[in-house]
Each structure stands twice: as C-alpha cells, then as structure tokens.
Amino acid sequence: MARILAVGNLVLDVILNVGHFPTEDEELRAHARYLQPGGNAANTLHVLTQLGHETSLVTTLAMDAQARQLSELLTARGLDLSHAQRKLKGDTPTSYILIPENGASRTIVHYRNLPEVDFEHFAKIEIEAFDWLHFEGRNVEELKGMLNIARTFCPDTPRSLELEKPREGIEALLDQVHVLFTGRHYARAMGHADAPACIEALRHKAPQAQIICTWGDQGAWYQAPGGAIEHVPADKVRVRDTLGAGDTFLAGALHRLLEGASLQEAVRYGSQLAARKCRQVGLDNLLDPLPDDLPLANVEDVSGAKATIARVPGRDVSLILIRDGDTVKAYVNNCPHQHVPLNEAYKVDVNPFQKTMKCSVHDAWFKIEDGECVDGPCLGDHLQPYPIRIDEAGNIYAAPEE
Ligand code: FRU
C-alpha cells in the first residue's frame, strides 16, 4: 500500500447512452443516463484505491450542490478530499458525454468555468507524507510552481505527469518528471503519425523520464531512458465502454511501478486493467471477475455417464455439458421437439456405447458428437451447440459469440 497524491480536475460526468450518434438538429431519446464523478486524476485515484492504495485528490471544489454530491461520492469510494481547494466563484466542471450502443466511442462536451488549483494552495500541503505525486498536464503556470516545490522538498518522491492535450508551455516542464504518460490524442495534435514518433519527440524534452504512449486498441508503446521503444499490444475484448480506460491504464501502470516492477511489466498490467475496464460500464469493482469470467464447471466434473446442466452466468441460458472423449461439448438445454429443457421430466440419460443422450420428456436421442437427433420424435433435428472455451486447468467457460 502506498500513499498517492494527484492534482487534477474533479468533474461531474453526465453520461447518456444512445442508440446511435445524433446528427445536428436531430431529436433523440437516450436509453440511460448516469451521473458520476469523473476527471482523469479522480478516475485514476478511484482505480488506485481499488488496488489497495491510500489516495488523495488535490482539486478545486465549487460551492454548488454538484460539488457536495461529488465530494460525498468520492469519499464513499475511499478517496481523501481534505486537500481540495474551495472556490467561491464558478460551477462544478461538467462533461456531457454521449456513448452509442456499441460502446466504441465517447463524445464529450466540456463545460468549465471553475478556476483550477493554485500554487499557493499546493504549497501548504505536506507532500512529504506521500510516496508518489501525480499531476494532470494542465494549468501550466501553477503546475510549474508545484513541480518546483515537489522537486525541491521531496526530490526522491516519484513524480508523474499526464500529457493528454497540448498546452502552451508545458513541454518546458517535462524534464521535471520521472514518468510521463501521453497518448494518441496529444500525439495526433502534435502531428505525430504514431506512438514511437511521439516518444522520440518527447525524449528530447524529458531525457530522464520513463515515457509511455497509449494508442487505444492498438496498445501502448514505452521507452525507459537509454532503452529502445517497445510495444505492448492491447488485449482483444468485447468493448462496452471506453470512458476512463486511459485513466485506468495509468492507475495500473503506476501501481506496478510503485511495487518496483519494470516499465514493461507496468505497461502490461496497465493494458490488462484497461482492457478489463472496457468490458464494463464505469470504473467500480474492476478487480472482480465479470460473469463471463466464472467457470461453468471443470472437465473433471463432467463425467461420461451423465450430462451436466449449467447456467451461463449473467445470461438467461441453460446449457447441457457432456463428455465427448477427452473433451466436453456444450449444447443449449432446449429440445428441438417441443422446446423444453432436456432435463424437464428427469435427468438427461447417456448411452456411452452409442455415444448418445436422451431428452427426458419424450425420449428423443441425440448424438453427443454433433447434437443430431437419431431416434425419437424430432429425428434429424439438432441441438444448438454453444461455444465454450476450456483453459489449461480444465475449467470450462461460456464463450458467447457476439
Ligand atoms: C475520462 C474523463 C472523464 C471526464 C473527461 C475529462 O477520461 O476523465 O471522466 O469527463 O475525461 O477530460
């Protein structure tokens, strides 16, 4: 467990799930609306808290009801807000975010009129109490002073910076940080065709930093000082929501660096965690397995003499798991004769010599190998196969095709 201080904007995210992205002047009904705390550093700390760290956010808070709501939500998540700076003027920063059904994009309209944290405020925080200091790359004039203080008073405490967008004058501060996170957005805005080109350009500004550049579903590139530029591909996953995936990546990488891992291991872990995040909406419970990750059974439990009935977690599907030689076959538990579960009247009997199994309702016999009905009322019909995957330990997982 480490103590991590991050400086950045706390934002109210108003998220609308829509069937498709609207065109100008179109009227559209959203399927769902979520209000949640956002902002890169706040998101990163939320994930770091889940990873077991003590986290503190240095941000500004407006005097409005939204700020109170956000403070409560953040505190409930375990983030410390005691170093937040109150501002009398301005509203809670708000992001209006449209996410279409396929989850592949998120379009954000920002509303910002709240002043950001000033250097004098930061100077009063006892930064010596922290093991890591992280900064959003914004608010350049004030950031300059904050980095200066951090370097002067805690020279050995690692400092990281996220460079999400180009900001006037920020390049001059990059030699003050140990770890520099950037990504596609910044790279493109700076005219770099790819991540390696971006890292090469940044290397001149930050000769001593570990530099990491993420590139969405293409993965991340990184370079330690004096080392080569390396690549870690992204895990291929079924994407539901990418909002905050970059912030999750950053948390994962930072977590492993704090544990003393190599830059490569840190980038790998960040990528895995970001991929895991993309499979769900929001950032809660990122370390828990998703229903698809729970095994249905183990190959050893599926004996030759009987069929095993299993429910696909999180889906209303019942399966027949049945031993077929060394492996296991899975069929949807639905008899094509009268569309009832095969075990509706009794258990599903198996004939090991014929390699068939029987529907308990009207005695239709099906070949285990391919689910064809070879005897009974629905002769020639087939059970519907269901895709499964079996890992090295013999655990059987549902692998639904989307
Ligand atoms: C996601 C996010 C949102 C926020 C926006 C700020 O990375 O932090 O939570 O609204 O980006 O740029």
Write down the pTM of the prediction.
0.85
Q: Same domain, yes or no, for 212 and 131?
A: yes
Average the pLDDT over 185-207 and give the result.
98
Ligand 1 close to Cβ of residue 116 (< 6 A): no
Ligand 1 close to Cβ of residue 247 (< 6 A): yes
Strands (E), 54-158: 54-58, 60-61, 85-86, 94-100, 107-111, 132-136
Q: 156 with 127: CB under 8 angstroms?
A: no
Q: Same domain, yes or no, for 340 and 192?
A: no
Give 144 Cα–ligand 1 centroid separation in angstroms: 23
pLDDT at 402 over 60: no
Q: Same domain, yes or no, for 260 and 384?
A: no
Residue type, 6: A
pLDDT at 399 over 90: no
What would the two tokens of residue 219 be? 């993965």
Q: Same domain, yes or no, for 236 and 118?
A: yes
Of 165-169, 250-254, 306-310, 376-380, the range with the lowest mean pLDDT is 306-310
Rounded Cα distance between 49 and 134, Å, is: 14
pLDDT at 129 over 60: yes
Name residues whose C-beta falls within 8 Å of residue 176's C-beta, 6 or more positions apart in sequence.
Answer: 147, 148, 150, 151, 159
Of 188-197, 254-263, 287-296, 363-372, the range with the lowest mean pLDDT is 287-296
How confident is the prediction for the chain on average, in pLDDT?
Answer: 95
Q: Same domain, yes or no, for 332 and 209?
A: no
pLDDT per residue as tens digits for the range 2-58: 999 999 999 999 999 999 999 999 999 999 999 999 999 999 999 999 999 999 999
The total number of structural domains that make up the chain: 2
Q: Same domain, yes or no, for 273 and 333?
A: no
Q: What CATH number does the domain containing 130 carry?
A: 3.40.1190.20
Give 131 Cα–ligand 1 centroid separation in angstroms: 25
pLDDT per residue as tens digits for the range 347-372: 999 998 899 999 999 999 999 999 99
pLDDT at 401 over 60: no
Q: Same domain, yes or no, for 259 and 297?
A: no
Q: Same domain, yes or no, for 174 and 300?
A: no
Tell which atom from ligand 1 comes closest to the C-alpha of 95.
10
Q: Same domain, yes or no, for 150 and 238?
A: yes
Give 39 Cα–ligand 1 centroid separation in angstroms: 4
Q: What is the pLDDT of residue 400?
A: 67
Q: Same domain, yes or no, for 157 and 33?
A: yes
Q: What is the pLDDT of residue 292?
A: 78
Ligand 1 close to Cβ of residue 206 (< 6 A): no
Q: Same domain, yes or no, for 148 and 278?
A: yes
> Of 258, 288, 318, which residue is a domain's last?
288
Average the pLDDT over 223-238 and give the result.
95
> Of 265, 288, 311, which residue is a domain's last?
288
Rounded Cα distance between 270 and 258, Å, is: 13
Q: Are strands 230-232 and 318-324 parallel, antiparallel or unpaired?
A: unpaired
Q: How many CB atoms lie within 10 A of CB 380?
A: 8
Ligand 1 close to Cβ of residue 164 (< 6 A): no
pLDDT per residue as tens digits for the range 207-218: 999 999 999 999
Domain residues for the domain of 110 are 3-288
Residue type, 327: T
Ligand 1 close to Cβ of residue 43 (< 6 A): yes
pLDDT at 189 over 90: yes
Q: What CATH number does the domain containing 384 carry?
A: 2.102.10.10
pLDDT per residue as tens digits for the range 290-349: 877 889 999 988 987 778 889 887 778 899 999 998 889 999 999 999 999 999 999 999
> Of 233, 253, 288, which residue is a domain's last?
288
Q: Same domain, yes or no, for 371 and 306?
A: yes
